[in-house]
Amino acid sequence: MATIQLKAALAVAANTASGINASGSTPITYSDTVWDDMQFPASPGQRGTRTKPDFDDTNIGCLMPQNDETEYISVSEQFSHKRKSATNISPHIHFIQTSASVPVFKMDYRWYDMGDAVPGSWTTIETDGTAALSYTSGSIINITPFSDIVGSDITGVSAWFEAKIYRKTGDGVSGDVLLKSFDIHYEIDGPGSASEYTK
């Protein structure tokens, strides 16, 4: 009970310090922005009715084949109300690296605000063949980034993001690559939105 009362007291104090009125019409914001992760684990549920790419039940991830861009994982989800309006996002791949060579992934994506028309075409970007961590030997989990996606036009809450992610043909890495997760780093400036549909 004491813990619950303490949390409630801290919440009231935080609201008072931020100038929140009783109706909640003043946005709750942090003095400094922070980062969070929007995560899409590579699981069979993301493959829909397709049976490809193959799923590795032992190592828990999708086996992304060499030189076959028809095998992809798809993601579709809304952004959190916490995202700072009009900021860029940083997508990246978590994968198992088994040699010094780094695979290249491609992504066809669409990103649009609630109330906007659904884009009629997809934008394609790819990773640059670099990894966040140095490879030494064996199998390590690593990260390879896509370039940032500009978000200056994405200003509302619950903006929709959808993508298809696959290996680039001729990326120089032999055999399958185990994809563990596709994530997006994004900036947040508060614990949520002041009202249900607006920041």
CATH code at position 41: 2.60.120
Split into its structural domains, the chain has a count of: 2
pLDDT computed for residue 1 by the predictor: 39
In a shared domain, residues 83 and 100: yes
pLDDT computed for residue 14 by the predictor: 43
Confidence of residue 100 (pLDDT cuts 50, 70, 90): very high
On whether residue 40 sits in a domain, the answer given is yes
140 beta partners: 97
On whether residue 196 sits in a domain, the answer given is no
User: pLDDT, tens digit, for every residue of 178-196?
Assistant: 999 999 999 998 888 877 7
Cα–Cα separations (whole angstroms), residue 100 to 112, 130, 137: 37, 10, 8
pLDDT computed for residue 138 by the predictor: 96
In a shared domain, residues 19 and 100: no
pLDDT computed for residue 195 by the predictor: 78
- Min mean pLDDT across 30-39, 74-83, 120-129 is at 30-39
In a shared domain, residues 170 and 125: yes
In a shared domain, residues 8 and 59: no
User: pLDDT, tens digit, for every residue of 118-177?
Assistant: 999 999 999 999 999 999 999 999 999 999 999 999 999 899 999 999 999 999 999 999
Cα–Cα separations (whole angstroms), residue 93 to 14, 120, 150, 176: 36, 26, 18, 15
In a shared domain, residues 74 and 153: yes
- Residue 176 burial (C-beta neighbours within 10 Å; 0-12, 13-18, 19+): buried
In a shared domain, residues 71 and 23: no
On whether residue 60 sits in a domain, the answer given is yes
In the numeric block, which tokens belong to residue 29?
């914001």
Residue with the larger pLDDT of the pair 38 and 11: 38
Cα gap 173→99, rounded to integer Å:
8
In a shared domain, residues 19 and 81: no
pLDDT computed for residue 16 by the predictor: 40
On whether residue 193 sits in a domain, the answer given is no
- Min mean pLDDT across 34-38, 42-46, 67-71, 146-150 is at 42-46
Structural domain span for residue 7: 1-31
On whether residue 194 sits in a domain, the answer given is no
pTM, to two decimals: 0.79
On whether residue 105 sits in a domain, the answer given is yes
